[in-house]
Amino acid sequence: MSLFSYADKNADGKLSRAEFSEWLDLMGEGGSAFVTLQVTDSGRNLFNVLDMNSDQQLSAREMNTAWSRIGPLCKDGKGLVQSDLPRTLQIQMAKGQIFAQPVFVFFGGPMPPQPQTKASNAPAWFTKMDRNRDGDVSLKEWLGTEEEFREIDADGDGLISAEEARRYEAKKSKKSEEK
């Protein structure tokens, strides 16, 4: 179909000034309307399996829990080979130019566990002490005594999670209500 046919809205075989003007307006608006799709194949990458929150850094918790994500990928149960790793694709899609954060999609293996969400409802002291913003307070970040740290670190992994901080605060407030 020719451009003339598109511009001739009433299909009478004649292009009026109004039809031509409307067609030019439509072309002007349509020229800036587009969608961008970008796909990047990262291949079979161990780092992407370990980096639970996709922040391009490995936190102490991610390192401490690494085998829980790697173990299930081992097909023979003896060890991990590269072909056991899921393929990682980074997909970005946007109206116009891409400025958004990428979404990682895994193919060829089990989906790694979803990252733990950094709780916005964590106690204020927890948020302030978590200086590296990894969602945990380590003993290096802790400003209290080591005894207090051990009391709050319920699972004894050397890190206080937001959930442990919330449980500690709930226990503390319950004790104060009982008094």
Residue 3 lies in a domain: yes
CB 158 within 8 A of CB 139: yes
Answer yes or no: do 23 and 43 share one domain. Answer: no
Residue 71 has pLDDT above 90, yes or no: no
Number of domains in the chain: 3
Residue 78 lies in a domain: yes
Q: pTM for the whole thing?
A: 0.48
Answer yes or no: do 47 and 103 share one domain. Answer: yes
Collapsing DSSP states into helix, strand and coil, what is residue 117? coil
Reported as a pLDDT band with limits 50, 70 and 90, residue 156 is very high
Answer yes or no: do 101 and 65 share one domain. Answer: yes
Q: What is the dihedral of CA 104, 68, 59, 81, to 10 degrees?
A: -70
Residue 6 lies in a domain: yes
Summarize the confidence of residues 60-80 as an average pLDDT. 85
Q: Domain range spanning residue 165? A: 124-173
Reported as a pLDDT band with limits 50, 70 and 90, residue 117 is very low
Residue 114 lies in a domain: no
